[in-house]
Amino acid sequence: MTEPHNAPDGLAVGSAEPEAAGVTPAAGAALMSRRFRGFMPVVVDIESGGFNSETDALLEIAATLIDMDGDGVLTRGATHNFHVRPFQGARLDPASLSVTGIDPFHPLRPALPERDALQRIFREIRHAIRAYGCRRAILVGHNAAFDLGFLNAAVKRTDMKRNPFHPFSCFDTATLAGAALGQTVLAKAATVAGISWDSRSAHSAVYDAERTAELFCLICNRFRDSFLEADARARALGWLSEPPPEAESDSPPVT
């Protein structure tokens, strides 16, 4: 991960510039929506100042998009990430900071207020949702309840009205890896799956999100034949292939 002082002013490491107007359909647009019932998986990793999403600071957030090609094969897409300023009155647990190595008040740390960071992340996700013809994003995370809890708490705290994520559904790669690989720790699951792992880079939101994305794609791709068989059976039963009602969009077109 590049050091913070090399990032443009106010823009965190690895983050993309605002997207251009218009949406170009992705190669696998017709398949992504059907694969996940109208939801688009987005890997999110959050580094925080503790374990309590209501009281502890959200310090870094990374969102890695999932791409799909014309054959329905999933791959890791672009990552958008921001350093985040602790909200007023936020708790910062020294033990958590020692694990992440984050200095929340370092003068060269280009951190944004929570609301600004979420707006930029959500804009990129809404753009991808439309490119793939999906209706809503679904959070993918390793021990996803932690990341979804912090995300929802920040959305509530900042009074965000255009959250592209489903508020409670998620895909947990700890569960998926336990079932598919017999490992639930991210480092061990990645290693046995043949994904490179650098322990010195762990606990960076970008690194963890990208490794989690690669793990999610690997497991889903291995389950592809199972999905195709189930999809064919669903069609034979006459079930509608349209996304479910709960996937309906809550945000206007990207401009």
Please identify every residue annotated as catalytic. Answer: 203
User: Which token pair is 103?
Assistant: 């200095």
Q: Which of 70, 166, 179, 168 is nearest to 125 (CA)?
A: 166
Contact status, residue 79 vs residue 64, Cβ threshold 8 Å: yes
Distance CA 30, CA 28 (A): 6
* Tally of CB atoms within 10 A around 245: 8
Helix (H, G, I), strand (E, B) or coil at 189: helix
CB-facing half-sphere around the CA of 90: CA atoms within 13 A: 26
Tokens of 181: 């690989």
DSSP state of 245: G
Is the separation of the CB atoms in 118 and 11 below 8 Å? no
Q: How far apart are CA 172 and CA 25, in angstroms?
A: 27
Q: Which helix (H) or strand (E) holds 236?
A: helix 224-236
Instruction: List the beta bridge partners of residue 64.
Output: 43, 79
Q: Which two tokens stand for residue 220?
A: 């889903």
Torsion angle, alpha carbons of 119, 123, 124, 129, to 10: 130
Residue 62: DSSP 8-state = E
